[in-house]
């Protein structure tokens, strides 16, 4: 069932090695969280898997085939990525932004057809943005804008959805709302989701698997119950804390208490 596989993956920016011999497997139809401290290499890994960055060595396999063997349009049909700080002209309406998600699927003539309109409507509804579809991006709150971008990624109708810190800048309610949307996409549409998250408790809430990156290498990986261990978290983030049990959802959560002094 491993549908994304990276073998001996290394990435350098100029002469600086930021990913060093990474070997990971990402299961299909699951939610995988990439965690790790600032600068550990999470975004670089996400972008390398999505073929935005070329590795200096190693391979990425997508559904059993080397990612380089796909055309750019094929990759865009299989995989959508929402980067950390996406940008679009502020005068765009939500609907116009979401229409861009259909680009990889459009015909040579580039006009939208019935399928495109249906996918756009579905994406807007799934993210609770349908009523805001005529609003300009400049007139949206941070949370609404984030949902508009998620809708654009959804409109692509790709099987894999990659998101880089989808809950950053959102208030608590909107953070949970975004997590619920991702969870429902996974449960109801079988989407394979790979997300970079800073809040370990967000990973605990929805991720089946977690990959922890430290200094450009895989520090550990496993289920959230395996990763959520006080010593493991201390080693990944340099933070002391305690594990508490969320009785409502039957998941462990981490409560940070203090930093570990170097
Ligand atoms: N375009 C770039 N050119 C040079 N160095 C870069 C570039 N992008 C990232 N880096 C460096 O690569 C390292 C890994 O960065 P990356 O963004 O992958 O980390 P991250 O774990 O996603 O960090 P954060 O949690 O802060 O977003 C960092 O040291 C960063 O400064």
The CATH number for 211's domain is 3.40.50.300
Domains held by the chain: number: 1
* Residue 243 bridge partners (DSSP): 254
Q: Nearest-CA neighbor of 221 among 73, 80, 39, 34? A: 34
Q: Which domain holds residue 169?
A: 2-259
Pocket of ligand 1 (CB under 6 A): 13, 18, 36, 38-44
- Mean pLDDT of the region 130-138: 96
CB atoms under 10 Å from CB of 138, counted, come to 10
62-120 pLDDT, tens digit per residue, is 999 999 999 988 998 899 999 888 888 888 999 999 999 887 766 655 688 888 999 99
Between the CA of 39 and the centroid of ligand 1 the distance, in Å, is: 5
Question: Counting atoms of ligand 1 from 1, which one is nearest the CA of 19?
Answer: 14
Q: Report the chain's terminal Cα–Cα distance, integer Å.
A: 40
Between the CA of 44 and the centroid of ligand 1 the distance, in Å, is: 6
What confidence category does residue 2 fall into, taking pLDDT thresholds of 50, 70 and 90?
low
Residue 47 · residue 247 · CB < 8 Å: no
**CA–CA distances in Å: residue 152 to residues 116, 135, 155, 157, 260:** 12, 15, 5, 9, 40
Lowest mean pLDDT among 4-18, 97-111, 201-215: 97-111
Please give the pLDDT value at position 108: 55
Between the CA of 37 and the centroid of ligand 1 the distance, in Å, is: 11
Ligand 1 pocket test, pick from 18, 47, 56, 166 with the greatest ligand atom count within 8 Å of Cβ, gives: 18
- Specify the 3-state DSSP secondary structure of 179: helix
Average pLDDT of the chain, as a whole number: 92
- Specify the 3-state DSSP secondary structure of 69: helix
pTM over 0.90: yes
Is ipTM > 0.95 here?
Answer: yes
Between the CA of 45 and the centroid of ligand 1 the distance, in Å, is: 10
Residue 94 · residue 86 · CB < 8 Å: no
């Amino acid at each position: 069932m491993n549908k994304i596989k990276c073998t001996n993956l290394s990435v350098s920016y100029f002469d600086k090695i930021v990913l060093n011999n990474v070997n990971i497997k990402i299961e299909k139809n699951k939610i995988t969280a990439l965690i790790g401290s600032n600068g550990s290499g999470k975004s670089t890994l996400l972008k390398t898997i999505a073929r935005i960055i070329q590795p200096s060595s190693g391979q990425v396999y997508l559904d059993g085939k080397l990612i380089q063997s796909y055309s750019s349009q094929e990759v865009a049909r299989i995989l959508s990525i929402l980067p950390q700080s996406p940008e679009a002209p502020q005068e765009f309406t939500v609907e116009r932004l979401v229409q861009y998600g259909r680009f990889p699927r459009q015909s040579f003539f580039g006009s939208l057809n019935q399928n495109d309109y249906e996918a756009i409507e579905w994406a807007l509804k799934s993210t609770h943005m349908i009523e805001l579809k005529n609003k300009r991006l400049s007139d949206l709150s941070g949370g609404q804008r984030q949902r508009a971008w998620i809708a654009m990624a959804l409109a692509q109708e790709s099987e894999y959805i990659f998101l880089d810190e989808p809950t950053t800048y959102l208030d608590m309610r909107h953070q949970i709302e975004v997590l619920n949307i991702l969870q429902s996409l996974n449960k109801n549409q079988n989407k394979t989701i790979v997300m970079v998250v800073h809040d370990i408790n967000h990973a605990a809430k929805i991720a089946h698997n977690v990959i922890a990156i430290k200094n450009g290498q895989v520090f550990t990986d496993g289920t959230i119950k395996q990763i959520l261990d006080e010593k493991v978290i201390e080693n990944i983030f340099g933070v002391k804390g305690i594990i508490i049990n969320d009785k409502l959802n039957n998941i462990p959560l981490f409560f940070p208490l203090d930093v570990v002094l170097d």
